[in-house]
């Protein structure tokens, strides 16, 4: 058993390398069948349209994808956050159908995406 340790405290400012985004795709004519790869490809195309091949050439991860809800969790380097967010905002169509991305939550901590109090709903309340 290790000896009980002494007190230590560290403060990290802006030390998170990534930002995380919880997003949802809304299609005008209701949900389509979209695979995780197509979902990611859609976002990549949106980035290229807005920033060109070079500007869009930063990686991002689709950490999780829910095919039923068309929601996803993205991970992106901090330097790519603004570009990714703007591309998501401006993306307007998928396979000739009007669509929109909703950014539900953004945080430098992935853990924070698992506890969004704005999701606390009751009965017939329409929140969010």
Partner 1 sequence: NATPRRQLEKCPRSLLVCEKSNFLNEKSRHDIHVSKHNFNYKISVLIPECGILPANISSVIHSFSPYYLVRDLPVYQLLEETFLEPLVKKGNFYALSYNTKIDEDNAIALLSSGQLILSLDKDTYEQLGLEGRPSLYNHKKAMRFVVTLDLTDKSLTPGTKRYQRVLSSLKDRLPLRYDFLFTKYNTGSDEDQTLNKLLSQYSYEEHKPAFSQHTLKNMPCPTLYPSDIQGKTLSCDPHHFLEWLGAVNLDISCENAADSFLSTYVCPEPQSSVSQALLCTVTGFISPENVFVLLQELRQYFDEPKFTPWISLTVHGFMDSPVSWGATEHGFLKGGENLYNFVCFKNQDYWLHMATGAQDGCPP
| Footprint on this chain of partner 1 (rule: CB under 8 A) | 1-20, 36-37, 40, 59, 61-65, 73, 75, 78-83, 105-118, 120, 122-123, 125, 127
**How far is the C-alpha of 98 from the C-alpha of 92, rounded, in Å?**
6
- Quote the least distance from Cβ 81 to partner 1, whole Å: 6
- Quote the least distance from Cβ 113 to partner 1, whole Å: 6
Q: Which is nearer to partner 1, 48 or 83 (CB)?
A: 83
- Quote the least distance from Cβ 52 to partner 1, whole Å: 13
Q: Which is nearer to partner 1, 28 or 66 (CB)?
A: 66
Q: Which is nearer to partner 1, 82 or 98 (CB)?
A: 82
Residue 113 burial by Cβ neighbours in a 10 Å radius (0-12, 13-18, 19+) = middle
- Quote the least distance from Cβ 101 to partner 1, whole Å: 15
Element (H, E) at 52: helix 36-55
**How far is the C-alpha of 25 from the C-alpha of 89, rounded, in Å?**
11
Helices (H), 56-114: 81-90
**How far is the C-alpha of 38 from the C-alpha of 120, rounded, in Å?**
31
Q: Which is nearer to partner 1, 81 or 91 (CB)?
A: 81
The alpha carbon of 16 is separated from its chain's Cα centroid by a whole number of angstroms, namely 16
């Amino acid at each position: 058993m290790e000896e009980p340790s002494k007190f230590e405290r560290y403060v990290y400012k802006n030390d998170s390398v990534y930002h995380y985004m919880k997003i949802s795709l809304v299609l005008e004519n209701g949900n389509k069948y979209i695979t995780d790869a197509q979902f990611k490809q859609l976002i990549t195309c949106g980035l290229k349209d807005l920033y060109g091949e070079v500007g869009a050439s930063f990686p991002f991860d689709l950490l999780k994808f829910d095919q039923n809800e068309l929601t996803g969790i993205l991970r992106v380097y901090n330097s790519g956050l603004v570009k990714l967010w703007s591309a998501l905002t401006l993306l307007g169509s998928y396979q000739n159908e009007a669509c929109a991305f909703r950014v539900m939550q953004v945080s430098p901590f992935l853990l924070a995406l698992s506890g969004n109090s704005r999701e606390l709903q009751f009965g017939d309340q329409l929140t969010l």
